[in-house]
Chains A and B, each alone.
Chain A
Amino acid sequence: MSTLAQIRLAWRLLARDYRAGEITMIAAAIIVAVAAVTTVGFFTDRVQRVLEGEANRLLGADLIISDSRPLDPELQREASRRGLAAAEVIRFPSMVVLGERTVLTDVRAVTPGYPLRGELRIAERLFGPDRVAGSIPARGSVWVDERLHTSLDLQAGARIGLGNSAFTVGGVLTHEPGVELGFLSGQPRLLLSAEDLAATGLVQPASRVRYRLQLAGPSVAVDAYRDWARSRLRPGTRIEGVRDARPEVRSALERAEKYLNLAALTSVLLAAVAIALSARRYLQRHLDGCAVMRCLGASQALIMRLYVAHFTVLGALAAAAGIAVGAGAQAVLVAWLGQVVAVTLPAASLQPAAHGAAVGWLLLLGFALPPLMSLAHVPTLRVLRRELGMPRRRGLAAHVLGAGVIAVMILWRAQELRLGVTVLGWFAAATACACALTWALLRAAGALRGHGVSWRFGVANLRRRTLGTILQVVALAMGIMALLTLTVIHNDLLRTWRESLPRNAPNRFVVNIQPDQVAAIGRFFSERQLAAPELFPMVRGRLVEIGGRGVKADDYEEERARRLVTREFNLSWADHPQADNRVVAGLWWERAPGQAGQFSVEKGLADALGIRLGDSLTFDIAGTPVTANVTSLRTVDWDSFNVNFFVVAPPGLLEKYPATYVTSFHLEGGQVELLNALVQAFPNIVLIDVAQVLSQVRRMLDHAALGVQFVFLFTLAAGLVVLYAAVASTQDERLYQATIMRTLGASRAQISRAHLAEFGLTGAAAGLVAAAGASGLAYFIAHRFLHLAYAPDPSVWLIGVGGGALGVAAAGYLGTRQVLAAPPLKVLRAIG
């Protein structure tokens, strides 16, 4: 038989199977898995960029290149060649003069287009209503921030001196993207047009000037530009994107990414279960056919080739359909997100489609082909003796391959080896626990025998094929678990996640509070019947040694690490760790007291700088070296917007150095008088408004949560396919038995009750296992991935067991009811 003839025959076999509904489930499972992966691909590929785009609005650009010397003009020329928008910022400290008063100010001269992402907001008067500026200051005028305004006590239309020029104050800057990035070291700010800069005469060769090039454009172009620029930057030139700059944004984005990948992975795992179940059923239904084909002269090799070709074609068609569904889904998503955010989505790339197709093939390879391959080995004698089945040992290789494929897929989708291995371990452990639990439940069900013939028959049926029942219950449990996770736990978890940024999260920071003002600040708040915010001491110091070795920026590859070691750290001291801090290594000093020379270091910082528990750190604080050992590492919930420190010491180590205090509090919309009063009472303090940043981070979280919900719809679909496949997998056998029972005189009602008992028990057991699994999964996601404190809702157990029993019983009852109505002979004949 020629290859072409074989392919033609395989195609005809596929068409016949399709028409007879034999491959619907396998195809549906592949379609769901591929669609889920493809949609998540589009999410991470497109919607993720929307999220990043919003994050970039915080930074003011997609990418920032900066240096203390004028930047190489080639950098800007290349950017415009690549179609990137660019704006320049020249930043330097200078005295601003009004009459006899002078204030050291952070001056920024900007070119039109600044900022490239996000917007400047200005108000006509101090603490007055603000609006989007829509431009940069006109020539001859400047915008000043609240602090400069207060320091100089400016009146409307005032003229101030800057170098050789005088400017009219045209507005109060209330929001400027990127400025909050270093807010703890903030000075009063002033913005002017770069065209006015030369006339001031302030930028001289020896001046302390920072030159910045802001860039923005499609993310592919930005990424490509970043790669191009990296190799051309001279020492001292920095390049950064938003992920380098903001820990809270980075953690929000990474959480969303992890959650999305996890959702897709769950769909794929469920699809694998559905495919394995469907393939098993397919195998059982095709044993006779293959025996007949062998009898009619087909060789084992021919049957194997036919089925490989058959399922190759099936895989291709189902994957194509899955990609089409994924593409359709993301089109819906785009339209829907378009109503939520006014951001143009970048075009989709082909990569998610390729990933989706690969997943479809892997699933078929791992879960459908191995059992089907054993079709070639069906004993030909089965045509005469129906009881001859498959040699059992062939199953083992199939399971090993399936497990291998799952492992590969988890490692691939998790995109991080450690995470992948963890998920894999949990999955294996969970499956083993589910099997053990089911086995125990089956044993317990034995005690329930003896309540009427139907019940006894139902229970006996479950116990008779223990292994089959365990597999079915575990498969059903996975389906129900997906549903529980989607409905009960998922909403709970999402709410917890969104509430990780509470409505009353601090939106104002106060820095530069002097030690002698600490008590007065407390009184200021209590006199106004407001809770006094907690004040944290802060000492500035430069990290000079880790483990006795000098620290140099050149020792580090990563830009974030290089930047961290060149900056001054804000060090603090405290008795107790803050509520949003968690000690992950070592012990906090409360539990290891008696020594002042200790540091607790934030885990991310320690990882970036290669600091290990037990290392000694030396900081240069006002010219004095201060050395202590790292005795604990902490994770910090940066997106809580509380005041937090990378490095904290116990009381007693840092008090003798010059310190200022910092605090944060939540200010409701209409409380601007409070700010006026605070600034008047304490003229030296710096007040920083992070309300804008906060609302943008909150919006990002909301969008990420919407995206995750959308992707979970596929998990839901995969769960339903599994449920269906699990119920259908033993349908033939059940029907056959029921028919025999009917020929022996059992009434339809008796058989229906037996089925209800069997399906109900199966569903309840699966629901119990699923509730345990869903609670475990939620705990796992919350603690290991999202780092959230979360306690699952106990109603999960009730819904799981009750819903499982009712749902599976109903599905099973509906599935068998119609055929039970037919005469037994017809059923026997249909089943063959």
Chain B
Amino acid sequence: MPKSRARTILKASGITKQVTTGNTELTILSGVSFEVGAGEAVAIVGVSGSGKSTLLGLLAGLDTPSAGLVDIDGQALFALDEDGRAALRGQMLGFVFQSFQLLPAMTALENVMLPLELAGAIDPQAPAQAMLARVGLGDRLHHYPKQLSGGEQQRVAIARAFVTRPKLLFADEPTGNLDTATGGQVIDLLFELNRESGTTLLLVTHDEAITGRCDRVLRLAAGRLADNA
């Protein structure tokens, strides 16, 4: 745990998630607890159905747990209502998704401008443009997502995630939809930006190439944390 003395930016305590399907109650996560220090890069791994994406959703406040607490930078996440959590996401969190989640009606530049616009930035264009240039898409500003390759779309998504300078960045299988070479480039970019901006990185992945670059790997098995290495 190389950065164990760093300030804790995320703390999960006893996270449990149960869902009811028909008459059966299914436990997806059970008593998951861990901490992440500022600037750390942490991978969450596990087989399909082990609850990785559910955990990520709960940590980012996209869903509410059946039991347990999450603190982000000292703020109890579930003490906030949905809009409060949205505001906190806007201020502190960034996201990169497996399916990119770019808005198809907007150009690359507009997609990157969107979080700044939602935060009420006066001039969202300049930083968005700079960030796209940083991810190597300075000449694709006005292209729509469907005009971009998968790797390019994911780079736009990374630019969108970093443009607000988040303290904590969540990535859900960021290379899951990409071939190995492109995935490698995207991961390089993600870690470069992580280093440059001092962002804390929390990734859900199957990709051994990614886990190898992380400071720490959390293994989930059947909804429990198996190995806090």
Contacts and interface: CB of A to CB of B under 8 A. Distances in A.
A297 interface: yes
B209 interface: no
B89 interface: yes
B114 A295 contact: no
A294 interface: yes
Given A1-B118, A20-B104, A384 B97 contact: yes
Contacts of B62: 295, 380-381, 383-384
Given A5-B120, A20-B144, A299-B83, A383 B101 contact: yes
Contacts of B91: 297
A292 interface: yes
A17 B105 contact: yes
A288 B145 CA distance: 14
Given A1-B120, A9-B117, A297-B115, A383 B106 contact: no
B118 A297 contact: yes
A22 B90 contact: no
B40 interface: no
Interface in A378-394: 379-381, 383-386
A792 interface: no
A640 interface: no
Interface string A262-301: 0000000000000000000000010011011111111111
A300 B90 contact: no
A299 B86 contact: yes
Nearest to A302: B118
Given A292-B101, A296-B89, A829-B146, A385 B53 contact: yes
Nearest to B91: A297
- Kindly name the residue among A292, A296, A300, A832 whose own CB sees the greatest number of chain B CB atoms within 10 A: A296
Nearest to B58: A381
Interface string A5-39: 10001001000110110100000000000000000
Contact of A296 (B118, B120, B172): B118
Interface string B129-141: 0000000000000
Contacts of B95: 295-296, 383
Contacts of B60: 295
A830 B104 CA distance: 8
Contacts of A300: 82-83, 86
Contacts of B68: none
B198 interface: no
Contacts of B47: none
B99 interface: yes
A204 interface: no
A832 B99 contact: yes
Contacts of B97: 383-384
A9 B160 CA distance: 17
Contacts of A383: 62, 95, 97, 101
Contacts of A301: 83
Contact of B87 (A22, A297, A385, A829): A297
A293 B53 contact: no
A599 B94 CA distance: 87
A2 interface: yes
B86 A380 contact: yes
A381 B114 contact: no
A299 B87 contact: yes
B63 interface: yes
A380 B106 CA distance: 20
A301 B104 CA distance: 23
A385 B99 CA distance: 10
A381 B86 CA distance: 12
A135 to B, nearest CB: 71
A757 B188 CA distance: 50
B86 A289 contact: no
Given A20-B105, A22-B105, A383-B97, A295 B118 contact: no
Interface string B83-122: 1001111110101010101011111001000110111100
B14 interface: no
A362 B115 CA distance: 33
A289 B118 contact: no
Nearest to B106: A16
A296 B114 contact: yes
A397 to B, nearest CB: 20
A292 B103 contact: yes
Contact of A297 (B57, B63, B119, B145): B119
B150 to A, nearest CB: 7
A628 B87 CA distance: 84
Given A297-B115, A299-B83, A300-B82, A381 B120 contact: no
Contacts of A22: 105
B56 interface: yes
A379 B160 CA distance: 21
Nearest to B119: A297
A822 to B, nearest CB: 11
Nearest to B101: A292
A542 B104 CA distance: 80
Contacts of A379: 63
Contacts of B93: 297
A289 B105 contact: yes
Nearest to A8: B117
Given A1-B119, A1-B120, A380-B86, A288 B103 contact: yes
Contacts of B56: 384
13 contacts: A16-B105, A22-B105, A297-B86, A297-B89, A297-B90, A380-B63, A380-B82, A381-B57, A384-B53, A384-B97, A384-B172, A829-B146, A830-B146
Given A2-B120, A300-B82, 10 more contacts: A16-B107, A288-B101, A296-B114, A296-B160, A298-B86, A300-B86, A380-B63, A829-B146, A830-B146, A832-B104
Interface of A: 1-2, 5, 9, 12, 16-17, 19-20, 22, 285, 288-289, 291-302, 379-381, 383-386, 829-830, 832
